[in-house]
Structure 1
């Protein structure tokens, strides 16, 4: 597993260093194994909506298609596996989702690595079959799983152990906020942050937001930003009408955008990446634990995650500072003719650190419990029974 991890890191480092040659945006983020599976689930549900009028898909169908999808995209033999129904449409929907959200998946990184590598880089750190085994979970090691902190027993946590699911979801929310700062087009990141912590922006608000984004042909985050700014700054002839579907969610949307604005201020105004990263993580932690007691499992998981992320950000910054070779062209490179040429440099070094952190998160081994990942994860923080990403998008 250690060899596999290092091979994935090598592949991702080369991709990140050279991706400016093939990608339109240097802020493109990577979907890891779990993100890929969630996007596939949404793609299949979307195709079912188009074909049969119902946005939904059975877990068994997703898992069956998952294996075929991985083999097909890696150009490995899949003759012994049945072709999923409407597979071509599913692939198209999946690819469109990635393009729309300015993301690539690990297989895209693997394919581009072979095109982008230069002579000094390893010829092939891992094979297509090894990547398939990693993504499907066949090579997952028990030793890889980090020991979970013991939590004091509380009425809501009688077992006294922090749930691995809570740990995983809390970490995803933290990283989703950081991902939005790097790549504002990442709709999955917005889905995990919009109502975490609770801002009364549940399924109805998310649905209204998706419809508005679709009508405007823009990302979810840009739709939120445009709508709130129009209300804040627009006159009578410019502000959205009272009948606008997002009007009834304005309080929660304003809270969400104010929080992201605060994070962006930290990003742009704190020159030291280690300090900026620590402030960002602390702000996210404070938002998630507000109103929770010290023994609450979410509180404990947020504390643990914040400490872990701060340490890793510090380590990444140290490595980047000491690197002789450097990390290639940095994200958010300002244009020479930009009006804000001077201020555009604010936060560039921090963005480089955050991108390295998010790349590492994308290399995490896949979740073992696929049913939990696809059916329950979104309910963990706010306790909505039966809520999940698929339900949110429905």
Structure 2
């Protein structure tokens, strides 16, 4: 079977390489390990002379930057990149649209216009870089993560873009998993200490699905959401086991691109339980956390926004991307963008930042 997007298709060999890379991403249970895996391995998927990982905070400052090969960069590359970031078309495009999918410099600039920028003359030209393709991943709020590929002689093709876009949702989920582990380790140390964690449920399973270890919070949530006894839990509910089996099977396909390994989510009485599946060679770990189902749309009473528009705005104000808002509210990212366009028009603003600021200061009133 071939994966097709428009006129572009993947060969069976390209699909096998993509599947192998996706499995490797999910096997990285540590942020640094995932970043290293991306930088060293992504060129097997989309050939490039230089790969970069950049973490940018809400103020446009670089929190972390890693490049492979590191010897290919200029002295002061990080400082130069931060200086020219406001001029970078990829960054400005995301600020305006919230679209985090793969984009190329040539989508926005002719080579003539690109060469006229200081971004080129001071940063890219000295490294013989002519072509760049990037994809963005939501990081710890309010940070944004960019995975960028660079070439000197040949622009990236639409097939390269297709590969990166197929990988994109898996990058988002793999990074979210790694972040969940990082937070858990920060708060409670290793798994033994996590057994009595206050705000996270932790379940350690054998490969055949038997419960080896479970903390009291996870026991309580299983009882609350599934009616399970909090005593003598040795197997998960059937719906859980079915989900886990599907998760395992999804990465063993050989003829299609797997769907992202999204968390298991169940709702009750205004709250949701989110369960992430992290699997190693001989055991699986389930991390559980409880969240409110939605943010109360306080803006709904303050303007002409509809309730759905108010919900979208509240989640945007919480630093969520269009993709994340769509997943939270059960919409498509295109519908979220349409809601934002209506919000901008009603509030008399042009950007996400301005709309968020209007919400913060209560600058809009019922007309």
TM-score, length-scaled by structure 1:
0.24
Choose between structure 1 and 2 for higher RCO, CA contacts under 8 A separated by at least 6 residues: 1
Larger Rg: 2
- Greater fraction helix: 1
- Greater fraction strand: 2
